Structure 1
Amino acid sequence: MPRRHAPSPPRCPAWAGLTPQQILARYRPGHSDPLQVLEVLLTLFNSQHTAREKIVSHKTRYERASFLRRFFRDLKRKAGFATVPDPRGLRQKHLQAMITVWQQERLAPATVQTYLSFLRGLASWIGKHGLVRSPAAYGMEAPDYQRHENALRDHSWSAQGVGAQEVIEQIWAFDRYVGAALGLILAFGLRRKESVLCRPYAHVQDHGASGRCLRVTGKGGRVRWLPVDSPQRQAALDAARQVVDRTDAPLGDPAHDLRHNLRRFDYVLQRFGLTRAERGVTAHGLRHQVLIAHYEALSGEPAPVRGGDGKDSEARRAVAELAGHARPRASGAYLGGADAKRGETPSAPPRPLTSPRTP
C-alpha cells in the first residue's frame, strides 16, 4: 500500500483563492489580536515540515502548536512583557527573554533544542529566516542545550535483571497484540511504532541476495530490510501472524486506530511495571538490548556501556543500519561513545543485518 500523508487542515472558505501573504495582510499588526494571528499562521503552515517538502505528523503539529501558543502567553506571564506581541513582530529581545526563563526553569537540553526548532519554523513562516540563532549566541553554556548523543549507561532489560522472554510471555497472556509486538522488538530491534505497524505477512518479502526479509519503514520514511535468518526471527513472525486477522493487516488491534494501539501498548507495559520508575526499563530499552547484543556478536567485545572501548567501527555501522539510522555515529545512543580519535571508516563495507544474539 502506498504511503499516505495526513491531509492538510481545511482553510476558511473566505480564504479561497488567496495566497498566505494576502490572508495575513487582512490582519494588520497593532489592530489584530496577536493570538488570533498565531492561529492563522498555524492553520496556514503548521502541517508543513520546516526543511523538507512533506507533511509532518499529527504529533509534531500538536506539540508545535501547543508550544507556540504557550510561548506567546509566557512572554507576558513569565518574561514580563506588558502585552503579547504580534507573531510577525517577533524580535531577538523576545527570544532572549524566554531563553532566560528556560534557564531559570532548568529545562532539559532536549527540550530547549526542540523549542528552538519550533521557533525556527515560526520564523520561516513569517519570512525571518535566521532570526533564531544558535543557543550559544544567547549566552547558553553547552550543558544547557547539548544533548547527550551517547548512552551513558546500559538501558537494556537484561542489565536491570528483567527476563525479556518470560515477561513477553506473561504480557502475551494478557494482551496478545502487545505481546506479539514486543516479540518483534526482541527479534528485530524495532521501534515501538514500527512493531505495531508491522504487517507480519505482507511485509515479509524476497530482497535479492538477502533472501526473505522483513521490510521496515522507519523515521523519515527510511526503509530497511531485515533478513529473516534465525529461528528467533521466524518464531516472532509466526507468533505475530497468529494475531492478525488478514494477510495484509498490521499488528495492532483492528478495532482501533494507530493512536489507540500505541496508547494501549504503553498502558500494558505500565501495568506490568515496565517503566523507568518501577523496574528501570522501557520498551525502548528492549531495543537497546538487541542492538547491544548485535554489536557484541559482531565485534566479540563488550559494548562501551558494558565496559568495552567501542573501537569496532564496522560493528557500530552495522548497529546503526539495523536500528534504521542514516548516521553511523547514531549507534552511540545505544552502545555508548567510542574514542573520538578512532572515528569511522567510511570506506569499509557495511556488515549484513543478520540476527542479533539476544542475552
Structure 2
Amino acid sequence: MTDSAFATDDFIRERIAAWLRDLGSVKRLAPKTLEAYGRDLGQFMNFLAGHMGGPVGLESLRQLRGADIRAFMAQRRTESLGSRSLARVLSALKSFFAFLEREGILASEALNVIRTPKVPRALPKALTIIEARQTISSTDEVEDRPWVAARDMAVIALCYGAGLRISEALALTRADLEAETLRVTGKGGRVRMVPLIAPVRQAIDTYLGLSPFKLWPEEPLFRGVRGGVLSPRLIQLRMQQLRSALGLPPSATPHALRHSFATHLLGRGGDLRSIQELLGHASLSTTQIYTAVDTERLLESYAKAHPRG
C-alpha cells in the first residue's frame, strides 16, 4: 500500500495497486525501486488531495495541469530532495500516467511540459596504475588457500586487464577463452571480443592449474569453495580486504578497476571508439565520461607538479 491510501478514492487506489503489480511482474523492477515509486506516487497524491481539497479521483487527474506538477516538484525541492531523487519522482509519475493511458483510462498532457531535472553525472573513481597493480598482485596476502587466491586474482585481473564488469567475468566459461581473445557477453546480450593480454591469461591459467574442480567448456569458469557459481559478493569482500591491507580509498571496488582500465588506456593515447568497443558500451556518449576523468587527473597532476600550481 502506498502513502496515497487515504488521499485517493477507491478507483484510483485500485489503479495504483494494478500499476505496481505491472511494474513488478511485467517490467521486473527491483523491490526497492518499486517501493520508491510507490512512495513517490503516494506523496504526489497526498499533495494533490491537499491542493484540490479532497481525495483524488479520476476527474481530479483529468484536470491536472503542468503548473500542479511544478508546484509539487518545487515543494519536494524545498524538502532538500536532490536532482537525482526528483528525476526518479518524475519517472514514477510518468510511468503511472503511461499505465493509465495504456489501460484506456486517461490520457494526460500535463507531464509532457515538465522537464526532467538535470542530474550531475558522477565521475568514476579510477585507481592509479600502481594501486591497480598492487590490488591484482596482493590477493595471496589476504587469502591462505592458493587456489582461492589464484581465482580471485584472475577475476580482479579481468576487471582491470580486460575492462570487464564483475558480472561479465563471473559469467565466463572455458569455451569463451581463446588463445589471445576473450568472448564476453555484456548487457543486452551483446557479445564482444576483448584482447587477452599475457598477464591476464597467465592469471587465468594459474587458477585453472590450481582449481580442484573439473571445469567443463560450457560451465562457469569461476567456482566457489563448494563448486557452485562464484558469487560477486565474495569478490567485493576480497576487494574490501585488499583496500584495508593496501590502504586504498573506499572507492576501490571491482567496478573501479573497470573504470581504471578505461582511464589508463585513454591516458596512454587509446582512442575513444576503441575503448567503447572494449567496454561494450552501446553509446559513445557513455564512454566520453572518461575524457572528463582523464582531464581531471591531468589538472590534479598539474596543480601538484607545476611551480605555480
TM category (shorter chain) comes to 0.5 to 0.7
> More helix by proportion, 1 or 2?
2
1:40 to 18, 27, 30: 18
1:192 to 166, 175, 179: 166
Contact 1:295 1:316 in 2 (8 A): yes
1:325 to 281, 291, 300: 281
Runs of 5+ unmatched residues, structure 1: 1-28, 50-55, 206-210, 300-314, 340-359
The 2-side partners of 1:184 and 1:293 are apart by 15
Secondary structure in 2 matching 1:326: coil
Q: Establish whether residue 238 from structure 1 lines up as the match of residue 205 from structure 2.
A: yes
Q: Establish whether residue 155 from structure 1 lines up as the match of residue 111 from structure 2.
A: no
Counterparts in 2 of 1:71 and 1:110: CA distance versus 1, 3 Å:
closer
The 2-side partners of 1:61 and 1:182 are apart by 27
Runs of 5+ unmatched residues, structure 2: 1-7, 102-106, 296-309
Counterparts in 2 of 1:325 and 1:185: CA distance versus 1, 3 Å:
same
Alignment TM-score, normalising by the size of structure 2? 0.68
Show CA shifts across 1:241-292 (max 9, x none). 355652233225386988x923333333334447x99544232221121112
Secondary structure in 2 matching 1:202: helix
Instruction: State the shift of 1:89 in Å.
Output: 6.4
The 1-side partners of 2:59 and 2:185 are apart by 38
1:282 to 249, 253, 266: 253
1:146 to 119, 132, 142: 119
Identity in percent = 17
Bigger-Rg structure (1/2)? 2
Instruction: Name the residue aligned to 1:294.
Output: 265
The 2-side partners of 1:264 and 1:291 are apart by 24
1:221 to 189, 197, 222: 189
1:132 to 103, 111, 115: 111
Alignment TM-score, normalising by the size of structure 1? 0.59
Instruction: Name the residue aligned to 1:348.
Output: none
Counterparts in 2 of 1:218 and 1:85: CA distance versus 1, 3 Å:
farther
Q: Establish whether residue 75 from structure 1 lines up as the match of residue 44 from structure 2.
A: yes
What pairs up with 1:1-359 in 2 under 5 angstroms? Answer: 30-32=9-11, 34=13, 36-49=14-27, 56=28, 60-75=29-44, 79=47, 81-82=49-50, 85=56, 91=64, 92=66, 95-127=69-101, 128=107, 132-133=111-112, 137=114, 145-148=118-121, 151=123, 155-158=125-128, 161=131, 163-170=134-141, 173=144, 176=149, 178-199=152-173, 201-205=174-178, 212-228=180-196, 230-241=197-208, 242-243=210-211, 245-247=214-216, 248-250=218-220, 251=222, 253=224, 261-273=231-243, 278-299=249-270, 315-336=271-292
Instruction: State the shift of 1:188 in Å.
Output: 0.6
Counterparts in 2 of 1:297 and 1:160: CA distance versus 1, 3 Å:
closer
Contact 2:126 2:257 in 1 (8 A): yes
Counterparts in 2 of 1:132 and 1:173: CA distance versus 1, 3 Å:
farther
Contact 1:191 1:287 in 2 (8 A): yes
2:120 maps to a residue whose letter is: R
The 2-side partners of 1:262 and 1:124 are apart by 36
Counterparts in 2 of 1:95 and 1:64: CA distance versus 1, 3 Å:
farther
Counterparts in 2 of 1:33 and 1:125: CA distance versus 1, 3 Å:
closer
Contact 1:168 1:183 in 2 (8 A): no
Instruction: State the shift of 1:171 in Å.
Output: 5.1
Contact 2:159 2:257 in 1 (8 A): yes
Instruction: State the shift of 1:186 in Å.
Output: 1.8
Aligned length, in residue pairs = 268
The 2-side partners of 1:31 and 1:245 are apart by 59
Instruction: State the shift of 1:32 in Å.
Output: 4.3
Counterparts in 2 of 1:39 and 1:184: CA distance versus 1, 3 Å:
same
Secondary structure in 2 matching 1:318: helix
